[in-house]
Amino acid sequence: MRDSGYTIQDMAERCGMTAHTLRYYERVGLIQPVSRARNGHRRYSEADEAWLHFLHCMRATNMPIRAMQRYAELRELGDSTSLERRKILEDHRAAIASQIKDLEQAHAMLTHKIANYKKIEQRTRIGGPLAEEAVNCRLATAG
């Protein structure tokens, strides 16, 4: 049974999701009902793939399903919803920027803390005094 298009498994692999997730996304309206082969099996198009990649990318950056549903809904409604859709994207971009900021801070903090651990391990190896508290309790402001 061919009927042109990707099977659900193919698409799952291509998009880094499971077949379960693809059906779920369809169920909750993130993707319009997918076309079917004669035997009733789903057949995904290239356009579906692009859209699913987009969804995957938004999810991977913590956009809530709710927001994605709203976006999908507006998309179905056509051109007149362009402004609202853009706003959703802009909001999410802002959310991403904020996440990046938090992550970068944490990254720097961990780098400090890890350096501290290394120092301590060094000292421990040569039998020096321990200063674990500096690592554990001061959020790595310690030198």
Partner DNA sequence: CCTTGACTTTGAGCACGCTCGAAGTTGTAC
Partner DNA sequence: GTACAACTTCGAGCGTGCTCAAAGTCAAGG
Among 35, 107, 128, 143, binds its own copies (CB under 8 A): 107
Minimum distance, C-beta of residue 104 to its own copies, in the bound complex (Å): 7
Task: Compute how many other C-beta atoms are within 10 angstroms of the C-beta atom of residue 5.
Answer: 19
Minimum distance, C-beta of residue 43 to its own copies, in the bound complex (Å): 17
Interaction partner, residue 120 (its own copies, DNA, none; CB < 5-8 Å by kind): its own copies
Q: Residue 13 and residue 31: Cα distance in Å, rounded?
A: 17
Q: Residue 27 and residue 31: Cα distance in Å, rounded?
A: 8
Task: Compute how many other C-beta atoms are within 10 angstroms of the C-beta atom of residue 123.
Answer: 13
Query: Smaller CB distance to DNA: residue 27 or 125?
Result: 27
Interaction of residue 35 with its own copies, rule CB under 8 A: no
Interaction partner, residue 93 (its own copies, DNA, none; CB < 5-8 Å by kind): its own copies
Radius of gyration of the chain (CA): 24
Contact 82, 100 (CB under 8 A): no
Interaction of residue 27 with DNA, rule CB under 7 A: yes
Minimum distance, C-beta of residue 123 to its own copies, in the bound complex (Å): 10
Rounded to an integer, what is the distance from CA 141 to the centroid of its chain? 31
The residues of the shown chain that bind DNA, judged by CB under 7 A, are 1, 7-10, 18-21, 23-24, 27, 36, 38-42, 59, 64-66
